[in-house]
Structures are given as structure tokens and as C-alpha cells.
Amino acid sequence: MEARICKVDKAPRTTFQLSSGKFKFSLSTTSNMAPDSTIHLVRHAQGYHQLPLSHPDIGLRDPELTSYGREQSQRFCAQFTHHKDIDLLCASPMRRTLLTTLLTFEPEVSGGMRVVALPDAQETTDAPSDIGSPPSTLMKEFGDQIDYSNLSNDWYSKTGHNAVDHASLLARARRLRRWVRGRKEKTIVIVTHGAFAHFITGNIDEKGQQIGEQNFVSPLANGTNT
């Protein structure tokens, strides 16, 4: 499980900038974001799709977290030092990202904060593990802890604006950044996926290859992170 903090410096009608470690990108835009905003970009904990290829659950659609993944999330929760600052929780609508969010940010959820499910934060491939579940299925599992208002019945379809070609992924990352820029909250969490996080931060080349850092910087990462 890995995390990165992205500082957002905003001046209205000028430059929106995310910068952390070795990546930086900026876009000229009008933004509603509060000055000196912070985005905590978090990769989900271990899911069943990350087990050895011989494991019988490796080909599951929309797998949940393994027991180790749940342990990772709970450890991250205990070590995270900014719980009191969080104004908004967002996550990819995949089961593993939603559960990571609920476990890692349990104090916020227990206090009544709902997790906004964002289809634009889903993973980059059409492999079974990256095909999500219908909203009705998610509602049965997670109840009213999740805000499903951004989900269409076929949000997980890897066609149209959710296609997995490079141009569509770049466009999806831009949509997500614009959505974030439209928010007024100062401290935002986005729980997403390892590959798509690089599209969000912009450290990806025209061929879809990661540039700069190949992994998130994570002082909390212990054990296997694949």
C-alpha cells in the first residue's frame, strides 16, 4: 500500500499545480479550490488479483482485499497523521479501493463522512480484476457509507470515455483533475490504482510508459506491494 501527498498551489484564473517528489505538472484554469490545498493520493492495499498466478482467485472480477490488504489498511490508518485535516474522501468504485478507503480512513467515516465513488479514478485495463461491479452490488456490500451519485449503471464498461487506449486514459485523468479543481474542500483524499495514479500525476509519456519515479514514495509501505 502506498501514498503520496500532492500540494496544490492555486491562484484564481492562473496556474493549478501539483508537485511532489520528482513530478510536477501545471494547467492554466479557473479553480474553486481553496488556496494551499492538499491532495492525498493513495494506492489501494493488496487485493486478491495481486496474489501469485497459481492462486485460484487470481482471475476474479473486481476482487476485494486480502487479509493482508486489510491489515495494511488498518496499519496505514494508525500511522496516518492527518485524519483531522481531511475534508473529502474519494475513491475509485472498485471494491478494493472502496474497502481500502473505509478501513484507512475509519475515523472520518465513523464521524459521518461518506466516500465519493469516482468512476474516473478506476484502473487502466480491461482485465477481469479491473472490471467493476454494478452500483446495486456495491450498495448491498457498502451501504450508505458510499456516495454513488457519480455512478451510471454501466460505469465499469471499458468503452467510450472509459476505454483503455492511451488517449482515453489521458482524457480520463484530465477529467478527474478538473473535477478536483472544482471542489472547495482544502484537504482531499483520492484512493486509486497504481497504474492510473501515474496518469493523474502526469508522469507518463506518449507511449504510456512511466517516467520519473516508478513507484510512489511511501514510508508506510511494508511487505509486498505489487
Q: Cα(196)–Cα(181) distance, rounded to whole angstroms?
A: 18
The 10s digit of each residue's pLDDT in 97-138 is 999 999 999 999 999 999 999 999 999 999 999 999 999 999
- pLDDT (0 to 100) of residue 25: 39
Whether the per-residue pLDDT at 16 is higher than 50: the answer is no
Report DSSP letters for 109-139, one per residue.
HHTTPPEEE-GGGS-S--SGGG----HHHHH
Q: What is the mean pLDDT of the chain?
A: 81
Length of the chain: 226
Contact 122, 176 (CB under 8 A): no
Residue 220: the pLDDT is 29
Candidate ranges 29-38, 101-110, 173-182; pick with highest mean pLDDT: 101-110
**Helix axes 194-201 and 166-181, enclosed angle (nearest 10):** 70
Specify the pLDDT at position 206.
Answer: 72
State the CB neighbour count (10 A cutoff) for residue 83: 13
pLDDT at 205: 73
Check whether domain 2-201 has CATH 3.40.50.1240, yes or no: yes
CA distance 127 to 125: 6
Q: Where are the domains of the chain?
A: 2-201
Instruction: Pick the more confident residue, 136 or 10.
Output: 136
Spatial CB neighbours of 46, under 8 Å, sequence gap ≥ 6: 1, 65, 66, 68, 69, 72, 224, 225, 226
Share of the chain above pLDDT 90, in %: 63
Alpha carbons within 13 angstroms on the beta-carbon side of residue 149 total 6
pTM of the model: 0.81
Residue listed under C-alpha cell 502506498? 2
Mean pLDDT in residue range 16-41 = 56
Lowest mean pLDDT among 6-10, 84-88, 124-128, 192-196: 6-10
